[in-house]
C-alpha cells in the first residue's frame, strides 16, 4: 500500500445550481465545508461530476476560490483544468494556480482521440507551465482514449505529475502502474466500487462521487484498510456497493444530484445536455437510499 500525502478520500464536488441554472456559489462552499467535516481530505471542483463541460472559465475559477476559502487549509482543493485543447488547458491551469488551487486534475483530451505520444505531450505541456501537483485522469469510457500504463509511467517521471485517477475499470492496468511507478507517485480509484480492490493492489485512495452521501463510511473503509482491519473494510465495501452502482444508473452526476435532493441537500437541476432521471431511475435511487437509512422516504420527491 502507498499512503499519499495528498489525502485518500477526495470528493468530486457537484456544482449546485439555482432555479435559473446559475451557479449557487454559497451552496457549493457549504457542501464542500460539510464534506470536509465528514472525512474528505480533498475537494475537486469543476470535474465531470461538477458538470465542467457546461461551466464557463469564470464560473470554474469562482467555484474554486469560494471552496478554497470555505474549507480548512489542511483540506487540499483540486481544480479540473484540462480539456481537448492543450493551449486552453495550460491557460486555465495557470489561472487556477493564481486562484488558490492546491493541485489540478487533468483529464485525457476527449473527442480528438490523441495518440499515446499526443497524450504525453499534452500533459507535459501542462506540467511545464505550472508548479502545482498534477493528478492525471484516465477515463476511456468518457474520452474514447485509454492512456496506457506505459504512458502514465512515462509521465510519472515528471516532477510535478504526482498521481493518476484511474477509471479504466481495468484492475490489471492499475496493478501495472503501481508496480512500475516511483514511490512518490500515487494511484487513486476513479470508480467508488473499485476503491477497495485498488487499495489492495497498492493504490492510495479514491476520487469519489459517493462521498457526497457516505463520506464517513468511505473514510472508515479506507482507514480500516490502512490499519489492517481488512474484514471491516470489506464489510463497509459490501454495505455501500449498491449505492456505488446506483449512482451510475444513468449519466453522472444525474444520480448523485438526485440522491442529494432526496436526502435533503438542495443542489438544483442540470444544465443541458444533461437532464433529470426517469421516474424508474428515481425510484431505484430512492430504494437504495432507504435501504442504507439515508432517507426514510421510499418515493422520490419531484
Catalytic residues: 137, 165
Residue 165's SS3 state is strand
Q: How many helices (H) and strands (E) does the chain have?
A: 12, 8
C-alpha cell at 38: 465528514
Residue 59 CA, distance from chain mean position: 18
Residue 74's φ and ψ, nearest 5 degrees, are -75, -20
Beta pairing, strands 42-45 & 9-12: parallel
Answer whether 48's CB lies under 8 Å from 29's CB: no
Provide CB contacts within 8 A for 142, sequence distance 6+. 48, 110
Question: Cα(288)–Cα(245) distance, rounded to whole angstroms?
Answer: 10
Amino acid at each position: 500500500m502507498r499512503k499519499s500525502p495528498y489525502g485518500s478520500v477526495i470528493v468530486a464536488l457537484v456544482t449546485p445550481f439555482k432555479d435559473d441554472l446559475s451557479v449557487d456559489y454559497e451552496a457549493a462552499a457549504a457542501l464542500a465545508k460539510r464534506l470536509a467535516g465528514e472525512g474528505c481530505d480533498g475537494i475537486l471542483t469543476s470535474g465531470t461530476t461538477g458538470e465542467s463541460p457546461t461551466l464557463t472559465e469564470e464560473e470554474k475559477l469562482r467555484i474554486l476560490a469560494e471552496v478554497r476559502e470555505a474549507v480548512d487549509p489542511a483540506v487540499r482543493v483540486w481544480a479540473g483544468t484540462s480539456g481537448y485543447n492543450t493551449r486552453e488547458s495550460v491557460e486555465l491551469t495557470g489561472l487556477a494556480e493564481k486562484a488558490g488551487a492546491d493541485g489540478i486534475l487533468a483529464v485525457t483530451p476527449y473527442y480528438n482521440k490523441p495518440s499515446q505520444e499526443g497524450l504525453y505531450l499534452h500533459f507535459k505541456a501542462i506540467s511545464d507551465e505550472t508548479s502545482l501537483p498534477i493528478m492525471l485522469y484516465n477515463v476511456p469510457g468518457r474520452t474514447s482514449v485509454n492512456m496506457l500504463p506505459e504512458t502514465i509511467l512515462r509521465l510519472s517521471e515528471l516532477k510535478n505529475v504526482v498521481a493518476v485517477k484511474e477509471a479504466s475499470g481495468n484492475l490489471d492496468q492499475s496493478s501495472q502502474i503501481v508496480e512500475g511507478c516511483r514511490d512518490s507517485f500515487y494511484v487513486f480509484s476513479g470508480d467508488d466500487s473499485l476503491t477497495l480492490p485498488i487499495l489492495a493492489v497498492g493504490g492510495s485512495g479514491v476520487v469519489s462521487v459517493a462521498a457526497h452521501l457516505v463520506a464517513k463510511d468511505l473514510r472508515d473503509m479506507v482507514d480500516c484498510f490502512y490499519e489492517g482491519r481488512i474484514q471491516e473494510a470489506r464489510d463497509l465495501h459490501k454495505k455501500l456497493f449498491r449505492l456505488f452502482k446506483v449512482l451510475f444508473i444513468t449519466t453522472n452526476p444525474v444520480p448523485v444530484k438526485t440522491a442529494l435532493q432526496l436526502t435533503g441537500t438542495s443542489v438544483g437541476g442540470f444544465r443541458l445536455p444533461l437532464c433529470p432521471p426517469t421516474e424508474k431511475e428515481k425510484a431505484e435511487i430512492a430504494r437504495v437510499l432507504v435501504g442504507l437509512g439515508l432517507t426514510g422516504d421510499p418515493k422520490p420527491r419531484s
